[in-house]
Amino acid sequence: MISTWLEDALSMVSDLLRNHPAPAYHHQATQMPRQVGECNMANDTLSRLAQTIAARRGSEAGGSYTRQLLDAGPAKCARKLGEEAVETVIAALTQDAEALKAEAADLLYHLLVLLEARNVPLDDVYNLLEARMAQSGLAEKASRSRPQDE
């Protein structure tokens, strides 16, 4: 069951957090914050990757890992995304920046595969993020809060 896997993964991350405090990173005061365009999102690597993933639906299953994931369905894609999320947390807490970058790239790829499996266009996600940026983070989060369990 996915819920059992998720519980195991969350337990593992919880144990990791207890046993490995996050390393301290120092930010140089003279360094300017990076601008979003600095990573060249205008080049839109994520959109191009999403297009490649969508194109893989028509490729031969044996020759494409992406096609195999898509053929396995959203549940398999979601599980793989969860695995990558856990690996990203582990890299963030116990490994160097290069390992974290590699895991973050894997995480983004698997998110795009899941979006494709569920037929959710990346542009819809971009539009939602754009709308959220129009308000403060706290106000935005409060606007989508779920009712408390009784």
Q: What are the sequence ranges of the domains in the chain? A: 43-137
CATH code of the domain occupying 43-137? 1.10.287.1080
pTM equals: 0.71
Is the pLDDT score of 24 beyond 90?
no
Q: pLDDT-derived band of residue 138, with 50, 70 and 90 as boundaries?
A: confident
Say if residues 113 and 53 touch (Cβ distance below 8 Å). yes
Q: pLDDT-derived band of residue 36, with 50, 70 and 90 as boundaries?
A: very low
- The pLDDT assigned to 35 comes to 47
Is the pLDDT score of 144 beyond 90?
no
Integer angstrom CA distances of residue 43 from 23, 47, 104, 113, 115:
32, 9, 19, 20, 20
- The pLDDT assigned to 13 comes to 62
Say if residues 107 and 85 touch (Cβ distance below 8 Å). yes
**Alpha carbons 16 and 26: distance in angstroms, whole number:** 22
Q: What is the CA radius of gyration of the chain?
A: 18
